[in-house]
Amino acid sequence: MQKNLKVFLYNLIFFLIFILIFEIVFGYWFKKNNFGIHMRNERNKNWKTTSVFNDKEYSFFYKRNFYGFRGDEFNPEDVKIIFNGGSTSNQRYTPEKLTIVGQLNDKLQNDKLNLKIYNAATNGKSLRGIIYDFEYWFNKIEKLDPKVLILYLGINERTLAEDLGQKNYDIRIKNKKIDQLKDFIKNNSFVYEKFIKIKNIYFPKNTSGYFFDTKNLYNNFSYVSYSKAKKTYNLLSENDKRILDQVKMRFQMLKKIFLEKNITPIFITQVEYNGLKDDTLFFVNELIKQLAEENNFYIIKLDEMIVMKAGDFYDKVHTTPQGSARITETIYPYLKIIFGETK
Residue type, 67: Y
Closest CA to 314 of 129, 145, 137, 91: 91
Residue type, 93: Y
The CA-based dihedral angle spanning residues 58, 60, 64, 69, taken in that order and rounded to the nearest 10 degrees: -50
Residue range 187-204, pLDDT digits in tens: 999 999 999 999 999 999
Whole-model pTM over 0.85 = yes
Domain layout of the chain by residue ranges: 40-341
What Å distances lie between residue 67 and 26, 70, 116, 119, 259, CA to CA?
Answer: 17, 9, 17, 11, 24
Strand order in the sheet with 298-300: 117-119, 81-84, 148-152, 264-268, 298-300
Whether the predicted pLDDT of 55 surpasses 90: yes
Residue range 172-187, pLDDT digits in tens: 888 899 999 999 999 9
The whole-angstrom separation of Cα 190 and Cα 106 is 35
Please name every residue paired with 272 in a beta bridge, in sequence order, or none if there are none: 275
Residue range 298-316, pLDDT digits in tens: 999 999 999 999 999 999 9
Q: DSSP readout, 144-190?
A: ---SEEEEE-SHHHHHHSS-GGGHHHHS---SSHHHHHHHHHHHH-H
Whether the predicted pLDDT of 167 surpasses 80: no
- Give me the phi and psi of 14, to 5 degrees please: -65, -40
Residues in the chain: 343
User: pLDDT at position 308, please?
Assistant: 97
HSE-CB at 91 with a 13 A cutoff on CA atoms is 29
CATH level 3 topology of 40-341: Rossmann fold (3.40.50)
Residues contacting residue 148 through CB under 8 Å, at least 6 positions apart:
80, 81, 82, 263, 264, 265, 266, 338, 339, 342
